[in-house]
Amino acid sequence: MSSEHDEILKAVAEMLKLRTPLLDRVELETFVRSFLDRREVFLDVARQHGTPLYVAEEEVLLERADQFTSAFRRELPDTRIYYAVKSNNHPAVVKAFVKAGLGLDVSSGLELQLALDCGARDIVFSGPGKGEQELALAVANSERVAVLMDSFAELERLERVAARASATVRAGVRLTADERGLWRKFGIPLADLARFLKAAQKCKHLLLCGLQFHTSWNMDPGAQVAFIARIGEALRPLAPEVREGIAFLDIGGGFWPPQGEWLQSAATPEGQLRAAADVSIAGAALRHYRFPAVPIEEFARQIASAVREHVFPHVSCCICAEPGRWLCHDAVHVLLTVADKKARDLVITDGGTNIIGWERFEHDYFPVINLSRPGEKEHVCHVLGSLCTPRDVWGYSYWGEDIEAGDVLLVPTQGAYTWSLRQEFIKPLPRLVMLIE
């Protein structure tokens, strides 16, 4: 047992050497100020529509679409961008990206129908375990949809569905970027690619013309670049006529927004150790942490370099990308009203975290900004929702001069994986208002 304890203590000592970077205070203050400068816009929306409320900004969605597309097309002119609908499936958000000229990446029949209803002309259908009804919808719209197959069984299933409809379907195959653990769920191992392509050649109703992979939570392009190199090695031994049939390489999504990941102390190794040891430190609620992300231009530069080195010597193809979080993160915010002030450092808002679908703010940090009593100082305060559960946390501090019942609060940049994960739990869900300039 002492040996086990020694190993644990050794591991803890190593963890403590790697201190989580603090969020730069000037950067945070600048971020808060950018919303305080527009406080009247948000207060006016709250007066018109009430709270709680999602507020989306079409201009920001279109700007992000243009920035992402421009960054990649400067490096790789033949690039197609597909918005990952799962990150925010509100029809107004989806339509904004269609308006911007993007294709759509869907991962269920439900999302596919939404994409069709929103007028998308270029759709990729990914995701594991697609059912026959879902595939039939893709086949019925084969002029607009390419199916990214996830397994050998799905190859047979799609061929069967397409044969019944006497249709020819464009398709690709997803490659597993990590053959370990839960990520084995997605795609086929790279070692099986040649066998998959051979099996696809026997399918008379499928045109297999592309490869796809996805790595997630990419703060930099290291994982994407590494797998592109592996793909190059897998392409090398393929017969020339097989390589000539590959028209696209889809590098997936997982691009982290340039803001990086902002964290509460509880999400850091140091904070978890303090919690386990029941040790508190003064000022922890005002101490925030940040894992930085590289700009999208750097993603594009490094990925393009890897594609030119490892892929283009073997195939001449279009490059596709499926960003979701990167495109919608900055464009949607949550407005709340303080319903009750129970103590100087405890307020209850009129909206609960069922609005975002999970206990996000116990670990993620986003500033809660008091628009009614604006100020550039952060105060310790439990800002909690009105659900009948103690896990209903919006934050442990707020920015402003003071906070009172009736004040309107803004929780910014909640565009990704909030609307899509919202849940009908205890309180009704608010609607989304799109600001169009």
Q: Are residues 255 and 159 in the same domain?
A: yes
Asked if the model's pLDDT at residue 1 lies above 60, the reply is no
Q: Are residues 213 and 349 in the same domain?
A: no
| Within-domain flag for 408 | yes
Q: Are residues 426 and 403 in the same domain?
A: yes
Give me the CATH number covering residue 314: 3.20.20.10
Asked if the model's pLDDT at residue 278 lies above 80, the reply is no
Asked if the model's pLDDT at residue 354 lies above 70, the reply is yes
pLDDT exceeding 90 applies to what percent of the chain? 89
User: Comparing 8-12, 260-264, 265-269, 337-341, which segment has the lowest mean pLDDT?
Assistant: 8-12
Q: Are 400 and 379 in contact (CB under 8 A)?
A: yes
Q: Are residues 25 and 174 in the same domain?
A: no
User: Comparing 256-260, 265-269, 336-340, which segment has the lowest mean pLDDT?
Assistant: 265-269
List pLDDT tens digits, range 362-413.
999 999 999 999 999 999 999 999 999 999 999 999 999 999 999 999 999 9
| Within-domain flag for 268 | no
Nearest to 327 by CA among 104, 127, 146, 148: 104
List pLDDT tens digits, range 148-190.
999 999 999 999 999 999 999 999 999 999 988 898 999 999 9
Stretch 58-84: mean pLDDT: 98
Report the alpha-carbon angle 153-157-159, nearest 5.
120
198-206 long-range Cβ contacts below 8 angstroms, 24+ apart: 199/152, 199/155, 200/155, 200/171, 200/173, 203/155, 203/158, 203/159, 204/159, 204/163, 205/159, 205/162, 205/163, 205/166, 205/167, 205/168, 205/169, 206/155, 206/158, 206/159, 206/162, 206/168, 206/169, 206/171
List pLDDT tens digits, range 279-308.
777 677 899 999 999 999 999 999 999 999
Average pLDDT of the chain? 95
Q: Are 41 and 371 in contact (CB under 8 A)?
A: no
Stretch 8-13: mean pLDDT: 62
Q: Are residues 407 and 313 in the same domain?
A: no
Q: How many domains does the chain have?
A: 2
Give the distance, in angstroms, between the CA of residue 175 and the centroid of all CA atoms in the same chain: 20
Q: Are residues 50 and 124 in the same domain?
A: no
Query: DSSP class of residue 352?
Result: -
Residue where one domain finishes, among candidates 328, 352, 382: 328
Q: Are residues 308 and 409 in the same domain?
A: no
Q: Are residues 184 and 319 in the same domain?
A: yes
* Distances from the Cα of 190 to the Cα of 195, 229, 315, 413, angstroms: 10, 12, 17, 37
Stretch 82-99: mean pLDDT: 98
Stretch 119-136: mean pLDDT: 97
Stretch 225-245: mean pLDDT: 97
Residue where one domain finishes, among candidates 303, 328, 353: 328
| Within-domain flag for 75 | yes
Q: Are 177 and 227 in contact (CB under 8 A)?
A: yes
Q: Which pLDDT belongs to residue 276?
A: 74
| Within-domain flag for 51 | yes
Positive or negative CA dihedral for 235, 296, 219, 366? negative
What domain range includes position 178?
58-260+294-328
CA dist 176 and 185 (Å) reads 8
Q: Are 382 and 296 in contact (CB under 8 A)?
A: no
Q: Are residues 175 and 46 in the same domain?
A: no
| Per-residue confidence band for 14, with pLDDT thresholds at 50, 70 and 90 | low
Q: Are residues 147 and 49 in the same domain?
A: no
Q: Which pLDDT belongs to residue 19?
A: 79
| Within-domain flag for 105 | yes
pTM attached to this predicted model? 0.95
Q: Which residues contact 164 (CB under 8 A, 6 or more apart)?
A: none
Q: Are residues 24 and 84 in the same domain?
A: no
List pLDDT tens digits, range 17-69.
667 899 999 999 999 999 999 999 999 999 999 999 999 999 999 999 999 99
CA dist 192 and 343 (Å) reads 62
